[in-house]
Structure formats: structure tokens, C-alpha cells
Amino acid sequence: MRKIHMGCFKVHKTNDARRHDGIYGSNWRADRIGPLLSTHYVESHDIYNDQNGVTHIRIKARPNAWHKDDCPFCARRCPGCDHPTTNPKGWRGLDWGGILVEIECPTHRIRCPQHGIVTAALPWAYPGSSFMKEFDLTVARFAKYLPRSAVAAYMRIDWQTVGSCMSRALHDLEPERTRRLNSLVNIGIDETSCRKGHKYITVIVNHDTNEVVWVADGHGFSVLEQFYKGLTDKQLSSLKVVTGDGARWITDCVNKYTPGCERCVIRSMSSSGL
Ligand SMILES: [Zn+2]
């Protein structure tokens, strides 16, 4: 084994890794392990094939002393609660040309005065995630345009995991979600069922952009009223047309909050494809 020093992190090359040098070249480490550079060291990496014949590269990392007790939510340095786990936790990253990438690192908990007892921050992952941030973000970007089943198949994850990745990446992808509520002119309000009809949600779409701008659990006047109450006077004044089925609660809300708005009754937004 030989050791390479690259700035503040080190890579210990195994015999396996040396055999793959011809494939990866000499600079891939610095580019690909960027998120680890500032707060963690890369100790070694192993390349192996699993029982399905998929090649994995497993990168073993450890935190540097300055950042090992950072809170994942506020980045404050906090007192440690316990020793690092003996079984290191693993995170999956984006594939490198078909090779499945994993980061392995021992974890421990810290006691943050603001956030309580939590697992110490890891720079490459959102709190509680088993994936690297870039993986979560990529899944979320794909899911914006592709069916969830297609994203799951391409990223080699299950269907439910697509939703979890989207939830974690949502804030980074769209930090100011309230901007969707600006300059609304023609909107559609619909109640639709999910979870095999056991649950109802209220969905509001911007007809001019075909974008969902607001969603809430349940339906009825009190639910829809939350949408109108969240709008500023300027946002309310830009509304000109509201479509939806003939539900009385939609009409009542429109009349109460935007009396000058035109109310268009359609058969059903979901069945009419809107
Ligand atoms: Zn904190």
C-alpha cells in the first residue's frame, strides 16, 4: 500500500485501486471526493463486486478533529455524547460510470443546546439520509420531469425512496417556495384522493404555468381558507379566474377572499386533465 497526500486529505491506495489506475486516471479523487475535503479525511477505498455482479467502490472516511462534533442543523461545535460506532455507517453516492459509490464513516452523537441529541454533522449527507447530498438532489431533479418508477429504475432505488430523496432536497432545490404564489392570475382548485382513496388532499395549480403551487391535507372550506390566508393583499389582487368543480366551499372561499374573481365551474379538474 502506498499513501498519496493531496492537500488536506490523504488516499491510501490498495493493490486493487492501483490495478484500476488505468481506468480512473490520477485526478479523479480530488474531483469526486470534493465534499469530504473540508471536514473529513479519506483513509482508503476498496473496490469489489457484489453477488449481482455490480462493481462497488467503498471509500472509508473519518472526520477531522475540528469538525467531528458539529451539529448537522446549525453547524455549531457541541459536546460529544458517545463514542463513534464500531460498525461504520454507509452512504450511497452517484454512480461513477456504472460503478456504485459508497462512503463509509463511523458516526457518533452530539448534544446541541438548540437541537438536542443528534448524530454529528456529515458534510456529504442531509441529516438522517443514507445517500450523499448530490444523490438526493439528482433524484429530486429527475423526479420533477420523469415518472417516479422511471427515476427509481434509473437510480437503482425503490419507489418509496424517490419520495424521501425529494423531501430532503426540496429546500435546496427551491429555497423560496412562496415565490410560486406571486403573480397568480388563473388558478384551479381541486380535491383529489390518494393512498387508494383513504386520504384527500387539496391541490391548487397555476393554469398559466401548469405548476402546482399549493397542496394541503384534507378538503373543504377550512383547508382552502389556509391558502387564501397565506396570500398577501398584492397576491390576492392578482387573482382573476378560479376554476374547480361545483363545490360550495370553493365558491364560498372565492367570494370571501377574492369577490372580484371570476368563478368557473368545470366537471372535474382531475378527470378533465387539468
Ligand atoms: Zn444545532
Given a contact cutoff of 8 angstroms between Cβ atoms, the answer to whether 167 and 186 are in contact is: no
On whether residue 65 sits in a domain, the answer given is yes
Using the mean position of ligand 1's atoms as its centre, give its distance from the Cα of residue 142 in Å. 31
User: What's the domain range around 8?
Assistant: 2-124
Nearest Cα to Cα of residue 96 among 19, 23, 10, 5:
23
Residue 3 pairs in a beta bridge with 12
251 to each of 13, 83, 192, 259, how far by Cα in Å?
A: 68, 60, 17, 10
Three-state DSSP at 40 gives: strand
Ion ligand 1: residues, Cβ under 5 Å: 71, 73-74, 112, 114-115
On whether residue 270 sits in a domain, the answer given is no
Domain boundary among 61, 93, 124: 124
Domain boundary among 105, 124, 143: 124
- 252 and 187, same structural domain? yes
Three-state DSSP at 28 gives: helix
Using the mean position of ligand 1's atoms as its centre, give its distance from the Cα of residue 123 in Å. 14
Given a contact cutoff of 8 angstroms between Cβ atoms, the answer to whether 9 and 33 are in contact is: yes
Cα 18 to chain centroid distance, Å, stands at: 35
C-alpha span between 226 and 246 (Å, rounded):
20
What are the pLDDT tens digits along the chain (274 aa)?
Answer: 333 333 333 334 444 444 333 333 333 443 455 555 556 777 788 899 999 899 999 988 877 777 888 898 898 999 988 877 777 788 999 998 889 999 998 888 999 999 999 988 888 889 889 999 999 999 999 998 899 999 999 999 998 999 999 989 988 887 777 788 888 999 999 988 766 667 888 999 999 988 889 988 888 999 999 999 999 999 999 999 999 988 999 999 999 999 999 999 987 555 444 4
Using the mean position of ligand 1's atoms as its centre, give its distance from the Cα of residue 71 in Å. 5
pLDDT over 70, % of the chain: 81
Using the mean position of ligand 1's atoms as its centre, give its distance from the Cα of residue 215 in Å. 30
- 111 and 34, same structural domain? yes
- 186 and 137, same structural domain? no
Q: What is the pLDDT of residues 145-182, one digit of tens each?
A: 899 999 999 999 998 999 999 989 988 887 777 788 88
Q: What is the pLDDT of residues 210-235, one digit of tens each?
A: 888 998 888 899 999 999 999 999 99
Q: What is the pLDDT of residue 127?
A: 86
Using the mean position of ligand 1's atoms as its centre, give its distance from the Cα of residue 61 in Å. 23
Residue 213 CB neighbours (<10 A):
19
- 31 and 89, same structural domain? yes
Q: What is the pLDDT of residue 164?
A: 92
Using the mean position of ligand 1's atoms as its centre, give its distance from the Cα of residue 117 in Å. 9
- 133 and 113, same structural domain? no
